Amino acid sequence: MSKPRVLITGGAGFLGSHLCDRFLADGYEVICMDNLVTGDLRNVEHLFSEPDFHYHHQDVTEFIHVPGRLDAVLHFASPASPIDYLELPIQTLKVGSLGTHKALGLAHAKGARFLLASTSECYGDPLVHPQKEDYWGNVNPVGPRGVYDEAKRFAEAMTMAYHRCHKVETRIVRIFNTYGPRMRLNDGRALPAFMSQALRGEDLTVFGDGSQTRSFCYVDDLIEGIWRLLHSDEVMPVNIGNPSEMTIRQFAEQVLAITGSKSQLTFKELPQDDPKVRQPDITKARATLNWEPRVELEVGLRKTLEYFKERIELKETVR
Ligand code: UDP
């Protein structure tokens, strides 16, 4: 019997590339699609010698053509850090709306299962804490984060419409803050910023007074959750994230401890609409997917540190 075939849009990105690894390891033929706006071929270069790995350079907001059968489409293409969507607001809106439409159309035409990478940003600056899937959120549509939040909310609505009208088998994962190897060093997110700063001996830039909270999930845990969700029967959105919540100041201090850096914290202005709290309620993932995160923050941070050290050393040699 031939292998199942999966298309992963945004396959050269942080999460997309880990999904490529996982699906290849589990016996899939993988088509990785990216336009490299925020993705990076270095994330998948180790896969180019694999016969079951194919790379298609394409912008998914244009018509997507994939020859042959497809069993699953995982739509992960999108700028995904606050700095990226501030710099690429129109691309962010287009890939969440037009790109999701194209990816759903392809899944429909191929009779493939579709999984949407959605986000905790759908909850905005939440007034309910922790966030459960049935909370509708508190989003500012016209603020700087609106381009991402609203694109993903639209993408969820479009996904449900394809499920209801066209009977496409759809899944929606709401991804909470995730970290690990292959995050871009300069994407402006808390972990790459803090780790690069600590390794370079620079001060760590904590925004606001650092009392805002986040809950950080190691990438391997997230990938396992996504894998289980794709293979489950759950059509409505499912939160995947690590519920262990901390302030950003504590997180910065944890990075300092792991890196052994002597850097100090420096406080900068809090970006507009930066959520004050965030913590996933994962009751649903536990019950329907029998999933929960396993990697302790300290263990995950050490693995991530190895990657950052390598990348920062490589960069310095190149320079
Ligand atoms: N943050 C920070 N310093 C940085 C980058 C981010 O203090 O150099 C804060 C940011 O304001 C937010 C939190 O860290 O409160 C997490 O930010 P990130 O960009 O990683 O993701 P978000 O959860 O805001 O989408």
In a domain, 47, yes or no: yes
Which tens digits make up the pLDDT trace of 242-275? 999 999 999 999 999 999 999 999 999 999 999 9
Residue 319 reports pLDDT greater than 70: no
Whether the per-residue pLDDT at 314 is higher than 90: the answer is no
Predicted confidence at residue 56, as pLDDT, reads 98
Ligand 1 atom index nearest CA of 193 = 8
Is 307 inside a domain boundary? no
pLDDT digits (tens, 9 = 90+) for 74-115: 999 999 998 998 899 999 999 999 999 999 999 999 999 999
235 belongs to a structural domain: yes
Distance 189 CA to ligand 1 centre (A): 5
Residues 235 and 239: their CA atoms lie apart, in Å, by: 12
Q: What is the pLDDT at residue 130?
A: 97
Ligand 1 atom closest to the CA of 248, numbered from 1: 14
Residues flanking ligand 1, CB < 6 Å: 81-82, 177, 189-190, 193, 205-207, 212, 214, 248, 271, 274
* CATH number reported for the structural domain that contains residue 165 in this entry: 3.40.50.720
- pLDDT for residue 201 is more than 80: yes
Which residue range forms the structural domain that includes residue 58?
A: 5-178+219-242+279-294
- Tens digit of each residue's pLDDT (9 = 90 or more) over 168-190: 999 999 999 999 999 999 899 99
Instruction: Please write the tens of the pLDDT for every residue from 106-148.
Output: 999 999 999 999 999 999 999 999 999 999 999 999 999 999 9
What is the average pLDDT across 183-209? 96
Q: Is residue 307 annotated as a catalytic residue, yes or no?
A: no
Is 301 within the bounds of a domain? no
Domain annotation covers residue 259: no
Peptide bond preceding 67: is omega within 30 degrees of 0, i.e. cis? no
- In this predicted structure, the answer to whether residue 318 has a pLDDT above a threshold of 50 is no
In a domain, 193, yes or no: no
**Looking at the domain assignment, is residue 315 inside a domain?**
no
| Whole-number pLDDT of residue 316 | 57
As for how many domains the chain has, the answer is 1
Residue from 274, 278, 279 whose mutation best tests the ligand 1 pocket (most atoms within 8 A of CB): 274
pLDDT at residue number 63 = 93
Tens-digit pLDDT profile for residues 24-82: 999 999 999 999 999 999 999 999 999 999 999 999 999 999 999 999 999 999 999 98
Query: What does pLDDT average to over the chain?
Result: 96
Task: Choose which residue among 86, 183, 217, 248 to substitute to test ligand 1 binding: the one with the highest number of ligand atoms within 8 A of its C-beta.
Answer: 248
- Segment 309-316 shows an average pLDDT of 82
Q: Percent of the chain scored above 90 by pLDDT?
A: 96
